[in-house]
Amino acid sequence: MNRIAALLLFAAFAGVHAPAALAQDYPTKPIRAIMPLSAGGLGDTVLRAIGQELGKAWGQTVVVENRPGASTMLGGQACATAPADGHTICMLAVDTLSYGPHLFKNVPFNPAGSFEPITNVMFLTEVMTVNPSLAVSSLKQLIELSKARPNGLNYASPANGVTLFMEKFKRDTGANFNMVPYRGGADAVTAVLGGDVPVGFFGMGNSVPNLTSGRLKALAVDSRARSPLLPNVPTFAEAGYSGVANRAWFGMFAPAGTPKPIIGKLHAEITRIVGDAEFQKKYLIALGLEPALNTPEEFAKFLEEDRVRAAELVKISGLQPQ
């Protein structure tokens, strides 16, 4: 075998084994984990817990970077444009990849092509909540009060999905609500607690302690069955409204082009962490979240279907791209 043939054979052999070696060595430096919402919310809490466990397993620090703004588009852009070497990952949500493409004319990334899906992590159970100063005890009473007020009632919205739900809810019931935007679930809860706005619709985990203490009042949850955390609170269907559509989700991604062996290693470790019963009990179930683990391929298919559902919901709501 001449020297050139030998070099070509070596190059081919090295090319076959390079991806496996790449995954075996990964990670070689601290990992940046992007959260497109402000600190303190449900997604942020779970991402930090996952990051802590990844750090323990791999001996590398996982630094959570909060990049709120532009309805999660800024955080999505930061993840999409990061180096595709596995040292940047992100937790994105339904707002970023399902609703965003239908609500903004200039999305700074390709929702279907700028990311490598790793796994869906969780679904949120969301709750219609009011400040106790608002004299209502049921969804029906809230609707009627909003109609009776000349200027309606303000509600806190931490995400596009909340706004879309509330717009559909208004159309279906005739309720009169005005949206007040906030940068994340924690901020929205604080606003309702302080009476800055009287109504909120957000993840249950952001509000359970305040609901059980009486500082906030729950009127309905968007899950199919009552939550074990709030067994006395009816579902929307039980409260007389059957129009709940998409559910909110959070999943893990990496920039498009991240090598498949690294995606596989991330998937294996993240699903191991989130699949642990104690982790679920502490960081998911206790916060009103439901585990939703799947493979990268299954998650990709879910995302494609969810974008279709989101488009239908945006159309129903009557909202126009901005």
Q: Over 80: is that where the pLDDT of 256 sits?
A: yes
Q: Are residues 56 and 114 in the same domain?
A: yes
> For residue 46, what are the contacts with CB-CB under 8 A and spacing of at least 6?
91, 121, 122, 250, 283, 284, 287, 289
Q: Are residues 188 and 156 in the same domain?
A: yes
Distance CA 277, CA 286 (A): 12
Q: Are residues 282 and 295 in the same domain?
A: yes
Strands 153-157 and 217-221: unpaired
Residue 283, in any domain of the structure: yes
Q: Over 80: is that where the pLDDT of 20 sits?
A: no
CATH of the domain at 181: 3.40.190.10
Q: Are residues 113 and 257 in the same domain?
A: yes
Residue 253 Cα distances to 35, 181, 227, 249, 321, angstroms = 11, 26, 28, 13, 25
Distance CA 87, CA 21 (A): 16
Q: Are residues 62 and 78 in the same domain?
A: yes
Residue 274, in any domain of the structure: yes
Domain count, the chain: 2
Q: Are residues 87 and 145 in the same domain?
A: no
Distance CA 72, CA 95 (A): 7
Residue 234, in any domain of the structure: no
Q: Are residues 113 and 253 in the same domain?
A: yes
Residue 269, in any domain of the structure: yes
Distance CA 240, CA 135 (A): 19
Distance CA 118, CA 300 (A): 9
Which residues make beta-bridge pairs with 290? Answer: 123
User: What per-residue confidence (pLDDT) applies to 73?
Assistant: 93
Q: In this structure, what token pair is assigned to residue 244?
A: 């709940």
Express each pLDDT in 45-92 by its tens digit: 999 999 999 999 999 999 999 999 888 999 999 999 999 999 999 999
Residue 209, in any domain of the structure: yes
User: What per-residue confidence (pLDDT) applies to 22?
Assistant: 61
Q: Are residues 7 and 108 in the same domain?
A: yes
Domain limits for position 39:
3-123+249-317
Q: Are residues 149 and 66 in the same domain?
A: no
Q: Specify whether the CB–CB gap between 296 and 268 falls below 8 A.
A: no
User: CA angle 286-74-198, nearest 5°?
Assistant: 50
Residue 226, in any domain of the structure: no
Q: Are residues 63 and 133 in the same domain?
A: no
Q: Are residues 8 and 95 in the same domain?
A: yes
Residue 322, in any domain of the structure: no
Q: Are residues 118 and 255 in the same domain?
A: yes
What is the number of other CB atoms lying within 10 angstroms of the CB of residue 111?
A: 20
Residue 132, in any domain of the structure: yes
Express each pLDDT in 196-244 by its tens digit: 999 999 888 778 889 989 999 999 999 888 888 899 999 999 999 998 8
Express each pLDDT in 78-135 by its tens digit: 999 999 999 999 999 998 999 988 888 889 999 999 999 999 999 989 999 999 999 9
